Amino acid sequence: MRLIASCLTSRSHSPAHELHEAVEPVIRLKQGKLAGDTLAVALDSAHAVAFHSGLGQPLYPTTSTTGYLSEHSAAAFAEAAYVKNNIAVVADGASQQTLSRWVEIFFKGVPTTSDSELPLSLAESKYYGGEQRTASSHGNAIIIGFPSAALGSVSPELSVLVALLGGASSIKWSPGFSLLAKAAAAAPGSHVAAVNLAYGDAGLLTIQITGGSGSVRKAAEESVKALKSVVEGTVAKEDLTKAIAKAKFDALTANELTGAGLISAGTSILNSAKPFQVAEAVRSLEAVTADKVKAVSSRSALPDSAPLTSVQAAKALLDGKATVAAVGDLHVLPYAEELGLKV
């Protein structure tokens, strides 16, 4: 007993301080891992340029932000965030009766509102766009982004556009039908993919490119050419048909009630109070036409109420303000202006 008492009384740190000492090395480890991942760094940079604060904050705290983090600020955030209006419970394979019983047990004490001194910011995300370049010896990456739709507002035309741009081929030894797969084939050693990042009140349509510096530069140039072919309406009808089929497949597989599907359902309920509807999504995708794909490209850069002419539909995406983040060998990686993009 003397030994135990001695150990307890000899500790000079509080439990909160010990928690901070335990968590800080984990954050540092993630920071170190992130520094070696050029695509992750480019994504953080792209969000910072596109949205500034809010969605623009880095996914993992940087060395400049860790000073604002503590066990107290984390506890205050948890108190403000974990209230009933911010929680959705989604289950797969459970009866409603069983689910309700466990929800009652585990969430009975969750408050409806919070009295935290740290209220959550509800400011609507605003898109800015711009360019950021970061030197790195760990590899090369470029993110080309444009404003897109928020969760619950993603149109079928946008889904088809993402599938049409595509990226890596799903068929071995084949370059694939997608426009960006062809762009990657023209730049050996590069990996190119279109990814739409949808959040609660904003979205970012991205073209993500990695590889050797020369390959990334060439792939970026080819990717912008691919975008121009979409907004100019020169995409083959066969490619559009394939993109619609791919968009339907992606929608169905991404929203199966397992893993990511559960997360998707919960996120949709929180942001739009409407879970994913399979039949409705498939019908809307089947109604997509080439003109609608061109139109969605322009809607991201024009007010929702603005009437679209054929010229606007063809030009607005590339004429709007883009987001470009380059990480790697900056002597080789292109500037946005060299790609023909406005920032």
Q: What is the pLDDT of residue 240?
A: 83
Q: What is the pLDDT of residue 4?
A: 34
Q: What is the mean pLDDT of residues 133-158?
A: 87
More confident call, 38 vs 271: 38
More confident call, 167 vs 215: 215
Q: What is the pLDDT of residue 130?
A: 95
How does 281-313 read in b/e, with b if 16+ C-beta sit within 10 Å? Answer: beebbeebebebbbbbbbbbbbeeeeeeeeebb
User: Is there a contact between 221 and 160 (Cβ–Cβ < 8 Å)?
Assistant: no
Q: Within a 10 A sphere around the Cβ of 9, how many other Cβ atoms? A: 8
Percent of the chain at pLDDT above 90?
A: 28
For residue 8, pLDDT over 90 is answered with: no
Q: What is the pLDDT of residue 170?
A: 64
39-43, 195-199, 254-258: range with highest mean pLDDT: 39-43
In terms of Cα–Cα distance, which of 42, 56, 45 is closest to 216? 42
Q: What is the pLDDT of residue 193?
A: 93
Q: What is the mean pLDDT of residues 306-326?
A: 61
Q: What is the pLDDT of residue 259?
A: 65
In terms of Cα–Cα distance, which of 215, 218, 206, 223 is closest to 46? 206
For residue 290, pLDDT over 90 is answered with: no
- Range in 164-168, 200-204, 292-296 with the lowest mean pLDDT: 292-296
Q: What is the pLDDT of residue 160?
A: 84
Residue 269: pLDDT band with limits 50, 70, 90? confident
- Range in 92-96, 161-165, 309-313 with the lowest mean pLDDT: 309-313
Q: What is the mean pLDDT of residues 2-13?
A: 37
Q: What's the rounded Cα separation, in Å, for the pair 267 and 257? A: 13
Q: What is the pLDDT of residue 24?
A: 67
**CA dist 128 → 146, 210, 225, 339 (Å):** 10, 24, 23, 19
Q: What is the pLDDT of residue 173?
A: 61
Q: What's the rounded Cα separation, in Å, for the pair 251 and 36? A: 32
Q: What is the pLDDT of residue 219?
A: 96
* Sign of the alpha-carbon dihedral angle for 72, 76, 79, 85: negative
For residue 303, pLDDT over 80 is answered with: no
Beta strands in 121-190 (DSSP E): 130-135, 141-148
pTM of the predicted model, to two decimals?
A: 0.79
Residue type, 145: G
Q: Euclidean distance between the first and final Cα of the chain, in Å?
A: 69
φ/ψ of 135, rounded to 5, equals -75, 140
Q: What is the pLDDT of residue 308?
A: 34
For tokens 């559960």, the residue is: 262
Q: What is the pLDDT of residue 12?
A: 42
For residue 152, pLDDT over 90 is answered with: no
For each of the domains in the chain, give its residue range(s) and CATH number, in order of start.
130-339 (3.30.830.10)
Residue 185 in tokens:
């084939």
Q: What is the mean pLDDT of residues 256-275?
A: 69
Q: For helices 156-165 and 278-286, what crossing angle results, to 10°?
A: 70
Q: What is the pLDDT of residue 43?
A: 95
More confident call, 17 vs 111: 111
Residue 108: pLDDT band with limits 50, 70, 90? confident
Q: What is the pLDDT of residue 69?
A: 74
